[in-house]
Each structure stands twice: as C-alpha cells, then as structure tokens.
Structure 1
Amino acid sequence: MKNMGSWDEGDWIAVIALLVLGVFLSIGALIAGSKKPEFAGHPKGLYMLFFAEMWERFSYYGMRAILIFYLTQHWLFSDSKSNLIYGAYTSLVYITPVLGGYLADRYLGQRKAVLFGGLLLAAGHSLMAVEGVGGQNDPTINVFWAALAFIIVGSGFLKANISVMVGQLYRLTDIRRDGAYTIFYMGINVGAALGTILVGYLGQRIGWGYGFGLAGIGMLAGLVVFVLGKSALKGAGEAPAPLSRSSEWTLYAVGLGAVAVIWALVQYQDVIQNLLLVSGILLLGYVVLVATFQLPYGSIGAGPRSRVNVALAGLALMLFLPLALILGLGIASGPVALGLAPAAWVALFGFLLLLGVMVVEKMNREDHARDRMFAILFLIALNPLFWGLFEQAGGSMNLFTDRYVDRGAVPASIFQSINPIYIILLAPLFAALWQWLGKRGKEPSAPAKFGLALAQMGLANLILVWGAQAFGIAAMTPVIFVFLYYLLATTGELCLSPVGLSAMNRLAPTFVASLIMGAWFYMTAVGNFVAGKIGEATGGHGGEMSKAKLLEIYEMFGWIAIGAAVAVLLVSPIVKRWMHLDTLRDRDDGLAGIGEAEPQAAGVHPEPKGA
C-alpha cells in the first residue's frame, strides 16, 4: 500500500473516481430505501435501470480500455494483429444486438433477454481474469477467446433491450420521457468514465486479472440491481406472449450455441471480413432494390421497364458492392495503389451503372418515400469512414498515448475516460444548440451535420499529427494534443450518431424500419472492422507501430475525412431535398419502447431495439 505522500497523478485520479462511484452508490441506496413509487418525479424503475446499465457500461468500457494492452503485452500479439483483433471484436459487438433485439421482441421479452445477456457478460468478464502464463502458445489463450465470445453474445442480448424498458415505463405522450432518457444516458456515460479509470488503473498498475476481475464484479453488481429491482419495473419488458419452459430454454441454448460459433469466428479475422462482405452485399442490395422499385410501384418488377432495370441494377450491385466493400475494408493496408486499380475501375463502372438505373427510375416516377430511402442510403454510407477513424481510440490511439505521449504517471488506459466525460459535459450543450438554431431556422440538416462530423474527425487527426510533428518525432507529444483529439472526436460523434439514429427513425417507411436500422448498425460494425484495418496499417510491414508510421496514416485519413466532409457539405442541400421533411407525417408507433434506441453513449453508438 502506497503512502499518500508518494501518490502520483494516476493514483489521485483513481481515488477521485472511487469517491464519485461512492456518491452514486449512496444515491442509489437512498432511492432503493425510499418507500415512494417515484423519486424526483420519475418511477423508481428508471433508477434501477440507470444503475444496472451504469454497471454494465462500467464493465464493458473498463475491459475495452485495457484490451489492446492485454493483447500486445500479455498475449504478445504484434501491434498490427492486436488492432485487427480489436476491430473484429468491436464489429461483432455491433452486429449481435440485431439478433438479441429480434429474439426479445418476438419471444423472450426484454427483461429475460437482459438477464440472460448479463449472465453471459458476467461469465465473459470473469473469464478475462484467467491470465495463464501469457504468449500465443499458452493453451489458456482459448479461455481468452471464449471470454470475448461470451461478451459479444451477452452484449447482443443486453444492449439491444435494456433501454427499450426505459420507454416502457412511460406512456408515449408522457412529457417525462425525454428527461428519463437523459437520466438513463447519464448512467451510461458515468459507468463508462468510471470503468475506464478504475479497471484501467488496476489492470495496468496491479495486474490484468485485477482489472478484468473488477469489470466482472461490476457486471455482477449490475445483475444484482436488475434482479432485486424487478418489482420496480411494473411489468415492463415481459414477453409478448407466454412462452413454454422448453421453448425458453431452447432460446437460451441458441445463445450458448452462438457463443461457440463466435469463439471460433473471433480467432479468424479474415473470415469476419468475408462475412461482412457477403452480408453487406445482400443487405444493402436489398435496400437499394426496395428503394428503387418496390416503394414507388408496390413490388419489384411491377413498373414500366422495371424488369430490365432490375436486371441492370443487379448487375451493377454485383460489380460495385463487392469490390467497393473490398476497397473500403482493404484501403488501410494500401492495396489500392499497389494492385487493385483494375478492381477500382470495375467498381466505378458498377457504381455509375447503379446510379444510372436509380436516376432513370426517379425520372420515370416521382416518389417521396423512395427519395427518403436514397437519403438514408447516403447517410448510412458515411458510417464506415467516421467510425473507422473514431474507433482508433481503443486501438492505435491507446498505444500511441502509452508510448509517445508525455502523460506523466497517468496510465494510458485512463485517457479512454476523456470521451465519456466530454459527452456528459457537451451533450446538453449540443441539444440546446440545435434547439436554439432550430427556432431561428438555422439548424443544419442531417447530411450537413454528417459533413461537420467528418470534418471534425479529420481535424482531430490532423491536429494530433501537427502537434506531434511540431515537437519532433523523437520527442514525447504534449498531452494537450490528446485532449484536443478527443474533444474534436467527441463533438464529431455528437453531430453524427444521435442525428443519424433520429434520421433513420424519421425517414424509414414503417414496413422496412427494422431493416433500415439493421443496415445502420451493420455499417457501424463495418466501421469498427475498418478501424481494425486502419490500426493494422499503423504497424507497417513489421507489424510493430512506429510514431512516424502512425502519424503518416493518421494524416492520410485526416485529409480523406476532410475531403469527404467537403463533398458531403456540397451535396447536403440535394440530400436534404430527398428527405422531403415538409411532407412527413406523424405515425402511430404502437407501444412505448418499441423501435426505440439506446441513447448516445461514450464511444458506443445507439443500439437497435427490436430490429
């Protein structure tokens, strides 16, 4: 035990985080001890969900903060391979909630899905604490892969459903709903900030097992809160229809079977890339066909010359989508300039052919619903670039902070708390800003906000590069540039993620709303995998990251993001017209909570509910 007089910055930050956690737990005990059905104007069930989600985010973000260091320092993977594993892991985390939301909506109900997901997550975080002797030849590494699999599948069942239950505590017309999600949102980010600090501190200062063990304890604490607070839910999150015990256990068996599949899958990142390609072709291809033909004519092939155009669109998709996705996933490694030039021309031809078919069909028949789908596709297509850069935070940026930043005695993983802290401070300001601009008719459109998000993410990269270069490659980079990087990344996140989610909900036709939400999160998953590929590129040919190579990659993608931002801002008036906001009408969304999404979290984008 250190003498207080010898405490350094990292020790003090951890102690402050512990005190803040104690304050929140005291508030929780006060609420739990109250005999009134409400606290501060909201049902007690809201606060139960607040603390359950706070602990889940505590465990998830705490583990995420030290994962890249665990891969490089304990299992001795190269920097490139570690970034690729990190990207594959986070991409799967964003795909599984689609399945978890579906099973909960149709069969299990949100409460049992959350409980099952929490158990899987607790198992996964506990298995992460099994260290072995280290190195890739240690058989204990199979326990590590199993731990990742449990966390991935558990996230699918829990993250997709817990915030739906927040909405189910209120009527659709209840004016307290926005305030409720604000409170819940606070729990997400408080958990994320405290988890990165405390788990990161223990993991890097004392031992990996202690850090991951604390994450596991956090998840178990969340489960205890959730189970003990069942009565406060007042029936929210129950199954849509009675389910037999055998059927229920069959669904749990499906979840465990998914763990086994993911255990095998996460070890082979190339397979994940191929699955993303195949599923992307099918999903986006179907969305394009629905938007171009089914919406205006009622069915694919019903309109004049539609059969010919459908065939041409199919050919275009075959030429463009596979190659475009290959180029998108592989661009970080630089193969475009080296050997994919013919593929790039074929992809361009396919894109122009597809664009031509869409233009011809638009000229044949004006349809507002189809135009909105085109706007949706435009916004969805920007996800991989933004999240591919943003998610460097837990990978290459984490390694850069550890090795090349003058951070004093603060463990590098603690810097992962900057984003959720910025979110807590800035999200209310952004909400007020949009409202203030909206009242004056000056609020930017959704596509313009996407352009601003890309510009800020690109600028974050460039400022980090310029700051590091200004002080010399051989010198340690001042920590202020890390804070500036995360500030711009966070403001970019606030311009894109909540805005994009709102646009998907507003613009998607009811009969394909879940499909569109699935496409949104699929492209978010692609963005996470792209992040792994970009991080892999920072390792260069030898696989070990150098400061010069990282700055080179960051500068290249910084300018790519700035260029994309300029292009998006230039075409944003056209995309805004496609949205036809003047003809949008309110619709009956059914029960409270259905189709809602998780509020913006620190570095974690909103999750689909009932997709």
Structure 2
Amino acid sequence: MNTDIENLFKDTVLGHPVGLFILFFTEMWERFSFYGMRILLILFLTAPMMSDNPGWDWPREHALALIGTYASLLYLTPIIGGWIADKFTGYRMAVVIGCVIMTLGHAAMAFETTGSFYLGLALLVVGTGFFKPNITSIISEMYKTRESKKDGAYTIFYMGVNAGAFFGMMLCGYLAENYGWHWGFGLAGIFMLLGMLQFLFAHKIFGDVGAAPTKKVDVVFHEGEDTSDPEVVKEEVEAASKLNPFTTLDKALIVLSSVGGLLYLFNDPLEKIGGTSMLPFEIMGLTGSNFIVLTALILFLVLLISRISRYIPIVRDRLVAVSIFALFTVFFFAFFEQSLGSMTLFASDYTNRELVGGAATVFKIIDGLLTTIPLIIITYVIILIFKKTFTKIGLSNVMLAIAFIGVWGLVIYRIYDKSFSEELRVDATWFGILNSFFIITLAPLFSKWWESKYNPSAAMKYAIGLILLGFGFAILAYGASDIPSGAKTASVSMIFLILAYLFHTMGELCLSPLGLSYLSKLVPARMIGFMFGVWYLAIAVGQKVANTMGGMIDKISEQYSLGVFFLIFAIVPVAVGLVSVVLNPLLKRLMHGVR
C-alpha cells in the first residue's frame, strides 16, 4: 500500500497528488448534481399547475414533509454505505456504485411523473449512502504517510464541494426556472454521469489505495501506563473501548430505535400527503407517529447512556462532551437548513427580484464575475492536470474536458441571455449560491482565526455559530415585519436575504467543519464508527426538524405574521448559543485537554 501511496505523490499539482484532484472533480460533479436538484425540490413541488412553468401545486407543509424525510435519509444511509465499503467493496468501488445509482436517480426525476419522481429520490438516497462516506475515506488513506499535508488536502477537497454546489444551484436553477423543471433535473443527471466516468476511467492511478479490504489484525493494548504520554493515553483509551463490546441488549436497542425512527420518517409525509397512516392508533393522547418517534428517541438515549457509562472516566467524559455537541448540532441544522426550504420560498414569493436600470447593470457585472472567475481558476487547474496525466488517464481527462466545456457553454449562454434587457428578474435559486460563495471567500479568514492565539474553545465556537445563525434570522424577521398576516406574496428588498445568508455562513464556518474534527479527537478508535453514526443521526434529526418547522410557515404567518415566523428562528438559536457559553467550563473539563 505504501508503494501505491508513494507513486501517487510522484505526479503533483499545486503540491498535492493528481489523485486528489480526481477526487476533487468527482465530488464537485456529485455536489453539482445534488444541490442543483435539491434546491429545485421545494419550488417544483409548490409551483402552481396553472402557470408558465407548472409544478405539482402541493401545500408547503406537504412539500417540506417529503423533503425533510429525504434530507434525513441522506445522512443515515452513509452509515450503512461506509460499513459495506469497509467490509466488502472497498472505498473506490463504493464510490462508483454510488455514482451509478445517483445517475439513475437523476435520470428518473427528469421524467417528472409521480412514480419516476419517488423512484429518483429513493435511488439518490441509496447512492449517496455509498458515495458520501467513502470518497473522503480515499483521501484519508492517500495521506497516511503525509499527515502534515492532510489539512491542506481536505481544504482543497472542501472547495470542490462548494464549487459544485455553487454551479449546480446556479445552472440547474437557471434552466429549471426559465425553461422547465425537467431541464434542471436532467442537467443534474448529465453531470453526475460525467463525474462517474471521469472517476472510473482514472481508477488505475490510485493503485491499491481504496481497493477492497484485506483481513486486518487487531493490535492489543493494555491499561495502567503513564498517562502523561499522549500515545499511552491513546492506547489506554483504545484498550478500554475493546472491553466494552456491544451486548445483546445494545444490539436490540439499536434495532428498535432504528426501526422506530424509520417508521416515523416514512409515515410523516405519507400521513400529510396521502392522508393515510402506517401507524393508525393513539396512545396517551399521542398519534401513532409521534408515539413511535418518542419511543425510538428514549430507546436510543438509553443505549447511548448505558454504553457511555461503561467506559473508564476519561473516555466517558469525552463521549459525554461529544454527545452534548451532537445535541447542539441538531439545533444548528434544524435552523440552518431553512436555506433550502422556507428561505427559498421567501426568495421565490416574498422577495423583490426585479432589477432595472443601473441596479440591473451592477447585478449583471457582479453575477458575471462571480461565475467566470472561479471557472477560470478551476480551468487553469485542469490544464495542469492534463499536462501531468493525459498519457496515463486520457479518457478520464476527456470526460473532465467535456464536462467543463458544457459548464462554460451554459455559463456563457446564461450571461448572454441576461445581458440584453434593461430589466432583470433574479432567479429564486440564485440566492442559494450565496452560501457557497461566502464559504469560499470567508473560510481562509476563519482558518487563520482558529490558528491564532485567539482560537476559542469548542463550546465557544458552537455558541458563536448559533448566535450568528440567530442574527441572520433576526435580519429576515426585520425585513418581513411589514408583510401582513396571511400574505402569500410580498416584495421585500433582496438585501435582507443576502445578509441572512452571510451571517448563516459565518455561523456554519464556526460550527459545521469542526464537528467531525472534534469527534476524531475525542472518541476512541474502536468507538468511532458508532459515534460517527450518532453524529450523522444528529444531522439527520436536524434535517427533519428543519423541514417540519419550515412546514409551519403558512400556519404561523396566517395566525401572526411572516416576521414572527422568522423571529422564532432567531430567538431559539441565540438562546441555545448562550447555553453553550454557560456550559463552556464544564465542557472543557469533560474534554480533558483536547482542543
């Protein structure tokens, strides 16, 4: 394996192996497809049937119930996909399987029939389960002997994520809103296919890195050594985790809580959209669906507490800290993920997107620069890759070239299409690209902050992130304050939405990229799979809660106002952020020196 890793580092671009950039572009096209399709969901499902671009005319609550279940499942299937890759397929084959399944999913959605739509969502959920955890695992394996370069590698890879999201939402949204939903869904599928072919034709460059697993031999450690040595502490923690195997009761609790959670996820949209229930009963005044999800939550908490309590004190304390951070993560994503739900609806129905005269001209210039400058930079990187690898993986390079020629063509056509009229209507999906743009521009500043002497503790980072998130919603609440109760449309200045995305992104940079980093530092190796599952579960719960709360937009805005709706979303994150400040001293003690 080391020989294959050394071979990878013989051909480098910008100081990193070409293989990293193969993964960069594979992830970029997957995120292009994922975000390009996902931002269309709420608009397509709620668009009136009698319109220039007819949708399914669903009530917002129904649409967000379905989207919430879909988004939750996207964070649950990677737990299974990662396990399958570890045990059977290897990371590279899992990525290919995921790409194939997702390509079929996007293709199914382009038909816009009821059956093909649901089939497409199901295939995307399964495909993401194979793809999401395993492409990052390949990077981890590539840099086993280059730990000092790993942070830089993940930074480059993370830029691929955001570049894909940026262009996917911009171009799929542009085609869908201006030419028809099937064009947007179809474009997502085309680039997913090109991303898969680009990765598949480059497989030989990786050697055995990410190949199917071989039988591994466990190393046994012993307790009782000098705890002043970090390596000895690591071994002690490892040993302690081996003394806490999963019992029959643990496994039963996992199965029961999983089944209960999945029943709720599937039953919620079925109950709201179809008017039928898989759980047609009431217990103690609770509907069957609510009773099942509360029971599943209680069983999972029993499992978590019982397992944590069986560890030695230092491990137990750190796992308690991780669990508290996971709870904060639920709250964060429950509010942050309004971006592809209620905030997209706000952009579509309540924001003044008409620009004329000088304002339209300024927007066209800014939009053109936002679009072309990143493309020029990425194209330069592609040229460097071609120089290094065309003789080795020429077919992969051809697929990459076709994809980028397609993106350049669409970008030029989009700029041309919008350039000749004095009036301009900004696409509702355009606002979705702001998160990716702000991440790319602000991430270096936050990275410098974390490396400085002013680097705050984990709990304070969570607090800052949650408070910034709440502040973004406070800006939206102020902007929506004059909208009367029950209004279905309005014309609020777009500056409020732009500022909200800015503060939400700053909050994300304080919290989201750090979660997995703290998880890897605080959790013993033998427990990391289970706690990664807990972490993904926290995000999945946050996704479902986000869309459940977002589905209340009509009820709250009719009874009170849209300003009150967003004010709720402002107050709760700030309150939770202040709780994190109060818990800071306790969490520091529980982390036992980990920063």
Correspondence 1:92 to 2:73: yes
Correspondence 1:287 to 2:304: yes
Structure 1 runs of 4+ off > 4 angstroms?
Answer: 261-267, 269-279, 470-475, 545-548
Instruction: Give TM-score scaled by structure 2 length.
Output: 0.71
The equivalent of 1:61 in structure 2 is 35
Structure 2, unmatched stretches of 5+, are 1-8, 48-54, 216-262, 272-276, 279-288, 355-424
How far does residue 149 in structure 1 lie from its aligned partner after superposition? 0.3
1:292-303 → structure 2 map (5 Å cutoff) = 292=309, 294-296=310-312
1:16-55 → structure 2 map (5 Å cutoff) = 37-55=11-29
* Matching residue's letter, 2:543: N
| Distance 1:100-1:553 versus aligned 2 partners, 3 A rule | same
How far does residue 234 in structure 1 lie from its aligned partner after superposition? 2.3
Residues of 2 paired with 1:241 and 1:57: CA distance? 31
Q: Which moved more, 1:455-464 or 1:275-284?
A: 275-284
The equivalent of 2:220 in structure 1 is none
The equivalent of 1:104 in structure 2 is 85
Asked if the contact 1:80–1:536 (Cα under 8 Å) also holds between the matched residues in 2, the reply is yes
SS of 1:51 mapped into structure 2: helix
Asked if the contact 1:65–1:414 (Cα under 8 Å) also holds between the matched residues in 2, the reply is no
Asked if the contact 1:467–1:477 (Cα under 8 Å) also holds between the matched residues in 2, the reply is yes
Residues of 2 paired with 1:79 and 1:561: CA distance? 23
CA distances 1:192-229 after superposition (whole Å, capped 9, x unpaired):
00000000000111001111100000100101101111
The equivalent of 1:191 in structure 2 is 164
How far does residue 186 in structure 1 lie from its aligned partner after superposition? 1.1
How far does residue 173 in structure 1 lie from its aligned partner after superposition? 3.7
How far does residue 369 in structure 1 lie from its aligned partner after superposition? 1.8
The equivalent of 1:81 in structure 2 is 62
* Matching residue's letter, 2:130: F
Correspondence 1:566 to 2:581: no
| Distance 1:168-1:76 versus aligned 2 partners, 3 A rule | same
How far does residue 66 in structure 1 lie from its aligned partner after superposition? 0.8
Q: Which moved more, 1:370-379 or 1:386-395?
A: 370-379
CA distances 1:62-109 after superposition (whole Å, capped 9, x unpaired):
001111011112122101111111111101111110000010011110
1:77-476 → structure 2 map (5 Å cutoff) = 77-131=58-112, 140-241=113-214, 268=270, 277=294, 279-292=296-309, 294-296=310-312, 367-408=313-354, 409-436=425-452, 440=453, 442-469=454-481, 476=491
SS of 1:212 mapped into structure 2: helix
Asked if the contact 1:384–1:524 (Cα under 8 Å) also holds between the matched residues in 2, the reply is yes
| Distance 1:508-1:535 versus aligned 2 partners, 3 A rule | same
* Matching residue's letter, 1:281: I
| Distance 1:536-1:174 versus aligned 2 partners, 3 A rule | closer
Instruction: Give TM-score scaled by structure 1 length.
Output: 0.69
Asked if the contact 1:291–1:370 (Cα under 8 Å) also holds between the matched residues in 2, the reply is yes
Residues of 2 paired with 1:75 and 1:374: CA distance? 45
CA distances 1:369-403 after superposition (whole Å, capped 9, x unpaired):
22112211111111221111111110111011111
| Distance 1:63-1:265 versus aligned 2 partners, 3 A rule | farther
Residues of 2 paired with 1:266 and 1:150: CA distance? 20
SS of 2:123 mapped into structure 1: helix
* Matching residue's letter, 1:70: F
* Matching residue's letter, 1:432: K
SS of 2:74 mapped into structure 1: helix
How far does residue 36 in structure 1 lie from its aligned partner after superposition? 7.5
How far does residue 175 in structure 1 lie from its aligned partner after superposition? 2.7
Asked if the contact 1:149–1:263 (Cα under 8 Å) also holds between the matched residues in 2, the reply is no
Residues of 1 paired with 2:181 and 2:264: CA distance? 23
Which of residues 545, 560, 572 in structure 2 aligns to 1:530? 545
How far does residue 273 in structure 1 lie from its aligned partner after superposition? 7.1
Q: Which moved more, 1:261-270 or 1:156-165?
A: 261-270
Asked if the contact 1:43–1:169 (Cα under 8 Å) also holds between the matched residues in 2, the reply is no
| Distance 1:427-1:273 versus aligned 2 partners, 3 A rule | farther
Asked if the contact 2:24–2:157 (Cα under 8 Å) also holds between the matched residues in 1, the reply is yes
Residues of 1 paired with 2:10 and 2:523: CA distance? 41
Q: Which moved more, 1:184-193 or 1:470-479?
A: 470-479
How far does residue 265 in structure 1 lie from its aligned partner after superposition? 6.8
Aligned-pair identity in percent equals 38
How far does residue 446 in structure 1 lie from its aligned partner after superposition? 0.6
The equivalent of 2:377 in structure 1 is none
> Number of residue pairs matched?
448
| Distance 1:276-1:522 versus aligned 2 partners, 3 A rule | farther
CA distances 1:336-357 after superposition (whole Å, capped 9, x unpaired):
xxxxxxxxxxxxxxxxxxxxxx
The equivalent of 1:334 in structure 2 is none
CA RMSD, aligned part only?
A: 2.7
Residues of 1 paired with 2:308 and 2:60: CA distance? 42
Asked if the contact 1:149–1:262 (Cα under 8 Å) also holds between the matched residues in 2, the reply is no
* Matching residue's letter, 1:268: L
CA distances 1:118-172 after superposition (whole Å, capped 9, x unpaired):
11100111111102xxxxxxxx312111110000110010011111112222234
SS of 2:311 mapped into structure 1: helix
Asked if the contact 1:387–1:527 (Cα under 8 Å) also holds between the matched residues in 2, the reply is yes
SS of 1:511 mapped into structure 2: helix
| Distance 1:370-1:263 versus aligned 2 partners, 3 A rule | closer
Residues of 2 paired with 1:44 and 1:572: CA distance? 42
| Distance 1:262-1:286 versus aligned 2 partners, 3 A rule | closer
